[in-house]
Amino acid sequence: MWVVLDDVQFNARDYQHRARLAPLGDPSAQRWLTVPVHRPRGRESRIEELLLADPETSRRRVERLVHQYYRRAPHWASARDAVDEVLTALALTDRVADVTEVSTRALLAQLGWRGDVVRSSTFVKSDERSERLADLTRCVGAATYLCGRGGARYLDEAPFLARGLAVHYPPPPELTSREGLRTVSALWALAALGPDALRTHLSAAVAV
């Protein structure tokens, strides 16, 4: 189950409207691919409120840079299918939340993931960070919350325990030990390694 946190505050310094691209031969040589956005309520704007500042320019920029970096990759055909879905979304909507959800769904589809996707804005939950996540875990009927390295720094397990829920911290895939692969877009791994190899790396980590 993937819960899209669409009703949380937008953070311009995070990966919510941008991603890092890198050459196939050197994933540490990264550059930002940024989609300019309009925040209707300034810093208080939530992700679901964000609008693309210039959808057509963003679409052309995404297409040009992604092709520049990955069109010669051994598994470009798989990556291209995912990219084409994002380009279509950029042509059809100016809502950032919709485009980012499409981009993740497209990558998950390439990996054969068949889980359910819901949006946090459809549930009633606490405003406190850890309690919010615990409420969402319970709302979707899950028993365990999977927490990555970033979230582990601030997560309070008490709200989960109070609701009879478990928290699991799967280790990062071994693949990310290579310099640059922890921060570069997953598109690099999809294009360079292909869906089968990438699925194996991720499954091994989550199973630990």
The domain locations on the chain are 9-115
The DSSP bridge partners found for residue 144 are 166
What are residue 45's phi and psi, to 5 degrees? -65, 140
Q: Is the distance from CB of 73 to CB of 82 less than 8 angstroms?
A: no
Q: Which helix (DSSP H) or strand (DSSP E) does residue 119 occupy?
A: strand 117-119
Q: Which long-range contacts (CB under 8 A, 24 or more apart) does 174-179 make?
A: 174/201, 174/204, 174/205, 175/201, 178/27, 179/27, 179/28
Look-up of token digits 């919510």: 16
Burial profile 139-160: b = 16 or more Cβ within 10 angstroms, e = fewer: eeeeeebebeeeeeeebeeebb
The dihedral through the CA atoms of 56, 81, 51, 18 has a sign that is: negative
pLDDT at residue number 207: 65
pLDDT at residue number 201: 86
- DSSP code at position 120: G
Q: Which residues contact 178 (CB under 8 A, 6 or more apart)?
A: 27
pLDDT at residue number 186: 93
Q: What's the rounded Cα separation, in Å, for the pair 205 and 142?
A: 20
Q: Which long-range contacts (CB under 8 A, 24 or more apart) does 15-23 make?
A: 16/47, 16/96, 16/100, 17/50, 17/96, 17/100, 19/185, 19/187, 20/183, 20/184, 20/185, 21/65, 21/66, 21/69, 21/184, 21/185, 21/187, 21/188, 22/69, 22/180, 22/184, 22/185, 22/188, 23/69
**Tens digits of pLDDT across the chain (208 residues):** 999 999 999 999 889 999 999 999 999 999 999 999 999 999 899 999 999 999 999 999 999 999 999 999 999 999 999 999 999 999 999 999 999 999 999 999 999 998 999 999 999 888 899 999 999 999 999 999 999 888 888 899 999 999 999 999 988 888 888 899 999 999 999 999 999 999 998 888 766 5
pTM for this predicted structure = 0.90
